[in-house]
Amino acid sequence: MRRFVFLAVAALCAAATLSGALARAQSKDEQQIRALEDKFAAAVNAKDVNAIMKLYVPGDELLVFDVVPPRQYAGWDAYKKDWEGEFAMMPGPVKFEVSDLSVTTDGRLGWSHSIQHVAWMTSDGKPMELTVRVTDCYRKIDGKWLIVLEHVSVPVDLSGPQPVPDLTSKP
């Protein structure tokens, strides 16, 4: 009986240790993804397309659904051109922030959702603002998290139909 109790306690300790190690790994992965999102925000505020694109998987694997046409951007090169076009329409400074970031990982894959707000001046000096919902999917490649799929959306008031720019209200 003592042997059984000892083995049961040893198994529980091993499970707790493994569970703790997994939680620490997930916590480290979550921290790395949060740091990636901080780098993204800093790069957008600096209007640094190259820094932005370092956060995405290179090549044809990348798929992005953005709020601006076309329907989707397939591949790193296509999405880089999108960013270059966006910044060309924003001649002055940009104020960008990420809020309500939620991150989940399983060691190899991760996903997040957040609210992202950007404010800028148009070329004719008109202030513009946009708040969007973003879902990112990440893959750990050579120990580094990269965005492999991104979906950006704006809710629509179907009675208009018009985009709903204020995403501050919660149900």
Domain ranges in the chain?
Answer: 2-163
Q: Read off the pLDDT band of 166 (50, 70, 90).
A: low
Q: Read off the pLDDT band of 71 (50, 70, 90).
A: confident
Fold of 2-163: Nuclear Transport Factor 2; Chain: A, (3.10.450)
Measured between alpha carbons, how far is 69 from 142 in angstroms, rounded to an integer?
A: 32
Name the amino acid, one letter, at 97.
E
Enter the pTM of the model: 0.80
pLDDT of residue 167: 55
CA distances from residue 161 to 5, 20, 98, 133, 134 in whole angstroms, order as listed: 66, 49, 26, 18, 21
Q: What is the pLDDT of residues 139-151, one digit of tens each?
A: 999 999 999 999 9
Q: What is the pLDDT of residues 46-63, one digit of tens each?
A: 999 999 999 999 999 999
Query: DSSP H helical segments within the chain, as ranges?
Result: 2-46, 49-53, 76-88
Contacts of 79 (CB under 8 A, 6+ apart): 53, 56, 62, 64, 73
pLDDT of residue 96: 97
